[in-house]
């Protein structure tokens, strides 16, 4: 059997042709053709007015947080379990991420925990669609509206997910996507900010380009912004991938379905959930095994590696990481679900190259490891 990969893209002739075309049009009228077309088509697909491509998702979040004026003293609510790219931008601006607990079913931000964490200094909530699962968006939007704070959606893992018939990436004031090489739709490195508000869009666009204004005089900067522009060759890959978006999502869902069927009768495991009235884009399949197995995630990862199955750990609670020096015991008490789930969760291989045989092998290996867990 070929090696099994945790992640990896699906690249076809289409992407190669688009890149060739972008290389042939390095200068001239079409030099930003793929950037602009990808931005507008991606936004439209998500029912958003504007799209801004960025070097990655982390910078898209940073850009938006800067544009809404996050500064020292401001608090932004985030879930414990996510990648640090969700929260780094808050810290870049001197703001404070406030870690909240997650729901045991969705693994996403728990509205009850958010309610208890809102303070006078809270400016925004960043909801994260973990593993393509989605939080209770309606409840989160209500909290945001009542408290007059921003709801932002980190949909980096949720291309193709839907909540009550509405696409992930269309909730709140703005949403963020990642096109990192491990993501469903990839440009190697890349990201996208989606939003609707005209003024906020103009502000983000100016900040993305060193504070230059569209159509403004040459070399005149109106702000100290960032250099977060995309380039056409990178965008060409994204554009071509996006022409195949349904196929990409379908394949990811097939992988999730393969794991569901292969592990159907296994006791005490929990996989990705389908959001209410919607569907899961299935970027990656998470597996949380019952406490009854008496197994840690590190042990599970080691034992699966012995079977030639590379798995990743479920995201650690951010408050437990050295990057955020906190009183870990205090956070563990405050956000018990996040600490519990993360301690017994793994991410199964999700590369586009996975074959049925490989999926079967992963399922057999998981069965084997769980069967022998207590022995």
Binder among 89, 191, 262, 310 for ligand PLP (CB under 6 A): 191
Greatest Cα pair distance, the chain, in angstroms, is 72
Report the sign of the C-alpha dihedral through residues 293, 296, 299, 303, in that order.
positive
Which parts of 47-66 interact with ligand PLP (CB under 6 A)?
56-58
For the stretch 152-176, what's the b/e string if a residue is b when 16 or more beta carbons lie within 10 angstroms of its beta carbon? bbbbbbbbbbbbeebbbbbbbbbbb
For residue 57, the minimal CB distance to ligand PLP (Å) is 3
Question: Cα 318 from chain centroid?
Answer: 15
Q: Least distance in Å: CB of 19 to ligand PLP?
A: 19
Shorter beta-carbon distance to ligand PLP: residue 38 or 83: 83
What tokens does 30 get?
Answer: 């079409």
The stretches of 94-231 forming alpha helices (DSSP H) are 111-117, 137-147, 198-208
The 10 Å Cβ neighbour count of residue 368 is 15
Which two tokens mark 22? Answer: 């972008």
Task: Work out whether 106 is an interface residue with ligand PLP (CB under 6 A).
Answer: no
Residues in the chain: 375
310 binds ligand PLP (CB under 6 A): no
Rank residues 85 and 262 by Cβ distance to ligand PLP and give the closer one.
85
By the rule CB under 6 A, 280 interacts with ligand PLP: no
Stretch near ligand PLP under the rule CB under 6 A, chosen from 153-161, 234-242, 340-348, 355-363: 153-161
3-state SS record for 240-291: HHHHCHHHHHHHHHHHHHHHHHHCCCCCCEECCCCCCCCECCCCCCEEEECH
Least gap, CB of 217 to ligand PLP (angstroms): 33
289 DSSP β-pair partners:
269
Shortest separation between residue 55's beta carbon and ligand PLP, angstroms: 8
Q: DSSP letters along 117-136, please?
A: H--TTEEEEEEE-GGG----
Q: Which CB atom, from 157 or from 209, has the smaller least distance to ligand PLP?
A: 157
Minimum gap (Å) between residue 154 Cβ and ligand PLP:
5
Q: Which is nearer to ligand PLP, 130 or 300 (CB)?
A: 130
Q: Which of 178, 234, 241, 342 binds ligand PLP (CB under 6 A)?
A: 178
The token pair at 64 is 């938006």
Asked whether position 154 contacts ligand PLP by CB under 6 A, the answer is yes
Whether the Cβ atoms of residue 186 and residue 179 lie closer than 8 Å to each other: yes
Spatial separation of the C-alpha atoms in residues 366 and 373, rounded to whole Å: 10
Residue 186 lies near ligand PLP (rule: CB under 6 A)? no
Least distance (Å) between residue 210 CB and ligand PLP: 20
Answer yes or no whether residue 85 interacts with ligand PLP by CB under 6 A. yes
CB of 292 to ligand PLP, least distance (A): 29
Single out the residue of 86, 133, 170, 232 in contact with ligand PLP (rule: CB under 6 A).
Answer: 86
Rg (CA), the chain: 21
State yes or no: residue 347 binds ligand PLP (CB under 6 A): no
Single residue of 63, 156, 174, 195 touching ligand PLP by CB under 6 A: 156
82 in contact with ligand PLP (CB under 6 A):
yes
Q: Where does this chain touch ligand PLP (CB under 6 A) — which range of 25-33, 44-52, 150-158, 365-373?
A: 150-158
Structure tokens at 144: 């945001």
Say if CB 207 and CB 226 are below 8 A apart: yes
CA–CA gap between residue 306 and residue 327 (Å, rounded): 35
Nearer to ligand PLP, 262 or 317 (CB): 317
Residue among 257, 338, 351 at smallest CA distance from 311: 351
Residue ranges that bind ligand PLP, judged by CB under 6 A: 56-58, 82-83, 85-86, 128, 154, 156-157, 178, 180, 191
């Amino acid at each position: 059997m070929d090696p099994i990969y945790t992640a990896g893209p699906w690249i076809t002739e289409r992407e190669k042709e688009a890149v060739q075309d972008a290389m042939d049009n390095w200068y001239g009228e079409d030099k930003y053709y793929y950037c602009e077309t990808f931005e507008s088509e991606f936004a439209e697909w998500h029912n958003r007015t504007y799209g801004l491509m960025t070097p990655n998702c982390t910078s898209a979040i940073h850009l938006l947080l800067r544009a809404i004026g996050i500064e020292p003293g401001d608090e932004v609510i985030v879930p414990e379990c996510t990648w640090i790219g969700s929260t780094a931008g808050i810290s870049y601006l001197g703001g404070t991420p406030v870690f909240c607990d997650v729901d045991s079913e969705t693994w996403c931000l728990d509205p009850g925990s958010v309610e208890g964490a809102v303070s006078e200094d809270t400016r925004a909530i960043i909801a994260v669609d973990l593993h393509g699962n989605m939080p209770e968006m309606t409840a989160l939007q209500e909290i945001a509206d009542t408290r007059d704070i921003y709801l932002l959606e980190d949909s980096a893992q949720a291309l193709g997910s839907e909540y009550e018939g509405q696409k992930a990436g269309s909730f709140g004031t703005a949403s963020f996507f990642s096109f990192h090489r491990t993501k469903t739709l990839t440009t190697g490195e890349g990201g996208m900010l989606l939003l609707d508000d005209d003024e906020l869009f103009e502000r983000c666009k100016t900040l993305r380009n060193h504070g230059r204004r569209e159509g403004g005089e040459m070399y005149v900067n109106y702000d100290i912004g960032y250099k977060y522009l995309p380039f056409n060759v990178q965008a060409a890959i994204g554009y071509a991938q996006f022409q195949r978006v349904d196929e990409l999502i379908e394949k990811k869902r097939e992988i999730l379905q393969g794991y569901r069927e292969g592990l159907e009768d296994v006791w005490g495991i929990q996989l990705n959930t389908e959001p209410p009235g919607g569907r899961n884009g299935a970027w990656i399949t998470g597996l949380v095994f019952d406490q009854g197995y008496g197994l840690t995630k590190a042990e599970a990862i080691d034992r699966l590696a012995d079977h030639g199955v590379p798995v990743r750990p479920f995201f650690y609670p951010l408050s437990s990481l050295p990057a955020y020096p906190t009183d870990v015991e205090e956070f563990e008490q405050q956000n018990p679900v996040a600490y519990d789930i993360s301690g017994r969760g793994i991410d199964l291989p999700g590369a586009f190259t996975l074959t049925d045989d490989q999926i079967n092998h992963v399922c057999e290996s998981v069965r084997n490891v769980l069967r022998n867990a207590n022995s």
